[in-house]
Chains A and B, each alone.
Chain A
Amino acid sequence: MSTRDKVIEILNTATSKTYSGADDESLFDSGFLDSFGLTDVVAGLENAFGFKTPDGDLTPRKFETVEKMVAYVEDHRA
């Protein structure tokens, strides 16, 4: 499974929804993710890819799109 597909899977699991938007679409502006959903998604990414997000990176804009999540994972995965 590609990193992108795994990210989508985590998004869908955390929100109990099915993501069908574009990779560069804001997950916040579209209403797909709320505050607690984002927290769950970041935890899911950490568990799936074996990294721990530093406190200084707890900024929503770093995880605003699928594209940004994939890039973050690629930079931080174990």
Chain B
Amino acid sequence: MAFLRAFGSYVPPRVVTNEDLAALAGKPAEWIRNASGIDERRWASDEVTVADLGVAAASDCLRRAGLAASELGLILVASGSGERRFPGPASAVALGLGLDATPAVDLPIASAGSLYGMALGARLAEDYGNVLVVAAEKMSAVVKRTPFDPNTGILFGDGAGACLISAGEGALRVVDSLLLSDGSGAASLRLDWETGLSMEGMAVIMNAARRVPAAIAALLARNGRTPGETGLFVMHQANLNLILRVAKTLGVSPDRFFNNIARYGNTSSASLLIAAAEADFSASPVCFAAFGAGWHWGALLAERV
């Protein structure tokens, strides 16, 4: 049995508004808002690394949990925007926490990476003890390439989130999770070293709008639950219109879907954990869900103890 014990987050201080991007994108600020639900996002300074962001979120999470980094048994770090092919940021995050012998594993899955980390961490907590899932993204480094792509450049922001999973204690018990992958969509959303970010937005939305609610419904059904009985949904913050669509498909009020995309934009894998760090879990059970490059997607069900 595993528990979600605490969440943490960090976003860099620089705010980039839609007005700041309007000229660059060739789109009015209001168009950006209507198309995405985003008002502003954060962009980190040039010298800040993905691992720096991850360490800040990890530290926030450990502080909230009252746990020393030395008590961690495993670190899982999701990121799709690491600076190198290898190593990924996981070992640097561990080092930033003062750890030099704790296993640290990269999950280069992008948007669904933190959900994968939570699901796998819940399974591994029995063997490794305290598992820290970190998701860190510096998407500004991806979208600031020249020429600026208005279709992707307006969406993404920088930030990091973290989740501490323990076998013995925590406020939310992990009930079950469902992880799915389908490589047929790999070309539709990808980040190549040479050519940069490529996203067929229509394919992403079409697939996410169908696959996410199906995964949520399947996970809930196999645990004898329904969407209507779920107290709170926390999704990857990709697009507000997508979140609202998922709520509609499930027949659930959008009020039950936490969202903070207006303030941070799409921070890829980090968004789920940044959202969780700000969410109120007094309503239970809680369903986490994500969809992204791969395709990788899924859902995780947790309930208050």
Q: Which residues of chain A have a CB within 8 Å of any CB of chain B?
A: 28, 34-36, 38-39, 42, 55-56, 58-60
Residue of A nearest to B214 (CB): A55
By the criterion CB–CB under 8 Å, are B203 and A39 in contact?
Answer: no
Q: A34-B202, A55-B210, A60-B206 are in contact. List 15 more A-B contacts (CB 8 A).
A: A28-B202, A35-B201, A36-B205, A36-B209, A36-B241, A38-B206, A39-B205, A39-B209, A55-B184, A55-B207, A56-B182, A58-B203, A58-B207, A58-B211, A60-B203
Contact partner, B203, options A36, A56, A59, Cβ 8 Å: A59
Task: Confirm or deny: B100 has a beta carbon within 8 angstroms of a beta carbon on chain A.
Answer: no
B: number of interface residues (CB 8 Å) = 15
For chain B residues 188-232, which have a beta carbon within 8 Å of chain A?
200-207, 209-211
By the criterion CB–CB under 8 Å, are B209 and A60 in contact?
Answer: no
Contact partner, A38, options B182, B202, B211, B241, Cβ 8 Å: B202
* Contacts known (A36-B241, A60-B200); A42 close to B206, Cβ less than 8 A: yes
7 tightest A-B contacts by CB? A35-B205, A60-B202, A39-B209, A35-B202, A58-B207, A58-B206, A56-B184
Q: Which B residues are in CB contact (< 8 Å) with A35? A: 201-202, 204-206, 209
- In the docked arrangement, what's the CA distance between A51 and B207, Å? 17
- In the docked arrangement, what's the CA distance between A35 and B202, Å? 5
Task: Confirm or deny: B33 has a beta carbon within 8 angstroms of a beta carbon on chain A.
Answer: no
Q: Which A residues are in CB contact (< 8 Å) with B209? A: 35-36, 39
- In the docked arrangement, what's the CA distance between A59 and B204, Å? 9
Q: Which residues of chain B have a CB within 8 Å of any CB of chain A?
A: 182, 184, 200-207, 209-211, 241, 245
A interface: dominant SS: helix
Output the least CB separation between B123 and chain A (Å): 25
Output the least CB separation between A29 and chain B (Å): 11
Q: Which A residues are in CB contact (< 8 Å) with B207? A: 55, 58
Q: List 25 A-B contacts (CB under 8 A).
A: A35-B201, A35-B204, A35-B205, A35-B209, A36-B241, A36-B245, A38-B202, A38-B205, A38-B206, A39-B205, A39-B206, A39-B210, A39-B245, A55-B184, A55-B207, A55-B210, A56-B184, A58-B206, A58-B207, A58-B211, A59-B203, A60-B200, A60-B202, A60-B203, A60-B206
- In the docked arrangement, what's the CA distance between A55 and B294, Å? 14
Output the least CB separation between B200 and chain A (Å): 7
- In the docked arrangement, what's the CA distance between A3 and B210, Å? 24
Residue of B nearest to A59 (CB): B203
- In the docked arrangement, what's the CA distance between A35 and B208, Å? 11
Q: Which A residues are in CB contact (< 8 Å) with B184? A: 55-56
- In the docked arrangement, what's the CA distance between A28 and B201, Å? 12
- In the docked arrangement, what's the CA distance between A28 and B202, Å? 9
- In the docked arrangement, what's the CA distance between A7 and B200, Å? 24
- In the docked arrangement, what's the CA distance between A58 and B202, Å? 10
- In the docked arrangement, what's the CA distance between A2 and B200, Å? 32
Output the least CB separation between A34 and chain B (Å): 8
Q: Which B residues are in CB contact (< 8 Å) with A60? A: 200, 202-203, 206
- In the docked arrangement, what's the CA distance between A60 and B185, Å? 11
Output the least CB separation between A78 and chain B (Å): 19
- In the docked arrangement, what's the CA distance between A55 and B245, Å? 18
